Amino acid sequence: MTAAIMERGLVIFDCDGVLVDSEPISIRCTAAALNGFGYPIDEDGVFDRFLGASTASMVKTVEESLGRTLAPEALDDLRREILAAFDVELTAIPGVSEAVNALDRPFCVASSSIPERIRHSLRLTGLLPLFEPAIFSATMVVHGKPAPDLFLLAAKRLGAAPSECVVIEDSIHGAAAGQAAGMVVLGFTGGSHIARDPDRRERHAWRLKRAGAALVFDSMADLPELVRQVTR
C-alpha cells in the first residue's frame, strides 16, 4: 500500500472552504466573538488575518494585541456556537464529492480545525465516509499553518513523498504551508466566502499565487484534471 501511494502521490485537502462551505459561518461567528472579547474586527478583517490559521495561532495574535489571555470557556462557547450554526447552515462545496471520487490517487484531509469539528463538518455534509480515517488536524503538530508540519505529518503517515503530494487550499496560510512542505499547491476560490465577490476572488487568487499556489481554480469539476496536469 505504501509503495502504491508513493508511486501515485497523494492529494491533501484542507477542509473549511475547500470541502465544506463553512467559512462564511465561521467568519461571522468569530468576528462577533472577538469583538465581544474587546478585539475590534469586522468580517473582512477575520478573512484577511485569520483565514486558514489554527485557533491557537489566532488566539496568540489576539492575546498579544490585548495584553491578556482569553478565558478558555469563552473559546469553548465560540466553538459551540460555530458547530450549532453548522447544524443549520452547513453545505458541501458544490461538486466536491464527485471530484474526490474521480481522483486517480489517494487523498486525505489536513485541516487547522480540531478533529471534532472536522468530523462534524464532514458528517453533516455526507463526506465523512470518503475520508475516514485519513483525517489530520493541527492539534496533532506543534506548529500549525503556515508552518509545513501538518502537511508533512499527513504525507509521512500515509507513506507519500512530499514532492509527490498535491495540496488543495483556499487560504494564504495553507498555500504557504504547502509550498514550505515542498508540495504542489492548487488554490481554490470557489467557496462562497470568496466567489460571491468578483473583486475579492480576483484579489485572493493573486494572493494565493503569491503564497505558493501553482494554479488557482474555482470549480471542483476541474480538480481531477488539474491534479493530473501538475503531477505529469
CATH numbers and ranges of domains, the chain: 2-21+91-230 (3.40.50.1000), 24-89 (1.10.150.240)
Closest CA relative to residue 14, chosen from 123, 139, 112, 125:
112
pLDDT in tens, 115-162: 999 999 999 999 999 999 999 999 999 999 999 999 999 999 999 999
Q: Give this prediction's pTM.
A: 0.86
CA gap 61, 177 in Å, rounded:
18
Query: What is the CB neighbour count within 10 angstroms for residue 64?
Result: 9
pLDDT in tens, 160-184: 999 999 999 999 999 999 999 999 9
CA gap 8, 5 in Å, rounded:
5
Describe the crossing of helices 23-36 and 43-50 by its angle, rounded to 10 degrees.
110
Which member of 14, 16, 149, 170 is catalytic? 14
pLDDT of residue 155: 97
Is 14 a catalytic site residue?
yes
Cell of 50: 485569520
Cell of 72: 478558555
